[in-house]
Structure formats: C-alpha cells, structure tokens
C-alpha cells in the first residue's frame, strides 16, 4: 500500500473519530445550560447530520474543482481552527442563547439554536474530509466502489472508536473545553501530515495537484 493511500486512510479514520467525539462533547456542553431533555439530543443529532450533509456536498464540490493534498491540508487546518473556536465560544454562546429565551421555550429552542450556532459549521468542515479523500484516492475507476466503500467504512469505524474513547476516557481525563481543544490539535496534526505530503509529493501526482 502506498504512502498516499495510507495517509488518506489515516486521515479519514481519525476525522471520523473526531466528529463523533465532538458530538458527545457537544452534549456535555449543552446539558448544563439546557438540561438533559430529549430536545438536546434531538437537536444535536439533527444539526450534526445536517452539518455532515453540507460537508459531504461541499467537500465533493471543491475536491473536483481543484483538489490537491496541499489544499486538503489547508481544509483540515481550517476544520481544526473551527473546532478550536468551539472550545472558546461554547460558554458565551450557550449563555447568550439561554439569556434570550424564557422558561417556556428555553429547553426546546435553546439546544437547537446553540447546536446550530456552535456545531453546524465545524461539523460541515469535518464532513468535507471523506469525499475529498475519495477524490484524492481515485486512481482506477473500475475499483471506485471498493475504494469509496473502504474509506467510508474506515470513517465509520473511526467514529465508533471516537465514541467509546470519549465516553470512557476523554471526559474522565480532561475538562470538556480542553477535550475539544485536543480534538482540534488532532485535526491540526492531520492537516500537517497532508500539507507535508502535498509539499513533497511524488512527481507523477503533480499533474493532479
């Protein structure tokens, strides 16, 4: 297996873990302000799925337009910055939304607005990873189904591990804001790997760059 493929597998796997890990941390962020009602989980799942949907679409679009490892790295860096922003903005945004809503609607609308404001855009950025990786991966059109399947399977397995690791370890080790920053650091690391590879990429791939 080439370095290129290994790198793409790794990025897709880890990003899959980061998305789900962020979703679990998101519930820890929303719960103190908006309670443990079903609206919190419902809003989170809805917004995360919406973000992923937007990310999948955009990721595919920009990858086709002028995809390259270097640009992939920049995209990953951007997603890392957005996740880091969540760490700093979570309390101010939740407080601001909480203040503006009265007792009647705060538990129903609060989680929806807070999820939207905090998590839609970072999740969308994280969602661009898989389709972009598919684009960078593709070499033999006859194997396209297999390649796409493998990448998405890896992303999903990453998500499972991200969920378990967050629930059993991350929230025990670190306070939530720092755990979110750790996720940002991990994404940034992936960005560096992609950027480094893009910089020193083998000549035969330069045409695609």
Partner 1 sequence: MRMRVWLIPLCFFAASLGYSYDVLFEGESLYHHISVTEEDGFRYLSFDETRGTQSAMKIGDPLFLHYVYTRLTFVGLAFCGEPKDVLFMGLGGASMPKFFRRHWPEANMDIAEIDPLIVEVAQKFFAFTPDERTKVYVKDGRVFLGKSEKKYDLIVLDAYNTNSIPFHLTTKEFMEEVRAHLKPDGAVVANIWSPSMNKYFEAEIKTLQATFPELYIFPGLSSGNFIFVSTPRAGQVPKHTVVDRAAQITREKKFEFDLADLAQSTYQYATKRPTNAKILTDDQAPVEVLRSQESK
Contacts with partner 1 by CB under 8 A lie at 28, 31-38, 98, 102-103, 106-107, 168, 171-172, 174-177
Nearest by Cα to 27 from 86, 115, 96 = 115
Where residue 35 falls (left for φ over 0; alpha for ψ -120 to 50; beta otherwise) is left
- Shortest Cβ distance from residue 99 to partner 1 (Å)? 10
Output the smallest distance, CB 40 to partner 1, in A: 9
Q: Which is nearer to partner 1, 30 or 47 (CB)?
A: 30
Q: CB–CB of 192/73 below 8 Å?
A: yes
20, 157 Cβ separation under 8 angstroms: no
Give the residue with the Cβ less far from partner 1, 54 or 161. 161
**Contacts of 145 by beta carbon, 8 Å cutoff, 6+ apart:** none
Q: What is the smallest separation between the CB atom of 128 and partner 1, expressed in angstroms?
A: 29
Identity of the residue, 6 or 36, whose beta carbon is nearer to partner 1 in the bound complex: 36
For the bound state, the minimum distance from the C-beta of residue 107 to partner 1, rounded and expressed in Å, comes to 5
Q: What are phi and psi of 202, to 5 degrees?
A: -60, 145
**DSSP label of 166:** I
């Amino acid at each position: 297996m080439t370095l290129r493929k290994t790198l793409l597998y790794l990025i897709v796997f880890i990003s899959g873990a980061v998305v789900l890990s962020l979703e679990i941390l998101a519930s820890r962020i929303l719960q103190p302000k908006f309670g443990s009602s079903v609206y919190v989980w419902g809003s989170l799942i809805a917004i995360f799925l919406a973000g992923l949907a937007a990310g999948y679409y955009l990721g595919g679009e920009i990858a086709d337009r002028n995809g390259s490892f270097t640009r992939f790295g920049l995209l990953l860096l951007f997603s890392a910055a957005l996740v880091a922003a969540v760490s700093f903005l979570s309390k101010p945004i939740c407080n601001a939304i909480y203040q503006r809503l009265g007792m009647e609607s705060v538990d129903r609308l609060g989680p929806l607005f807070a999820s939207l404001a905090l998590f839609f855009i970072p999740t969308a950025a994280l969602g661009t990873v898989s389709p972009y990786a598919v684009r960078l991966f593709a070499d033999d059109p006859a194997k396209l189904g297999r390649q796409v399947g493998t990448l998405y399977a890896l992303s999903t397995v990453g998500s499972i591990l991200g969920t378990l690791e967050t629930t059993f370890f991350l929230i025990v080790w670190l306070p939530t804001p720092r755990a979110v920053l750790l996720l940002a650091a991990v994404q940034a690391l992936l960005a560096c790997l992609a950027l480094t590879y893009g910089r020193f990429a083998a000549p035969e791939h330069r045409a695609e760059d």
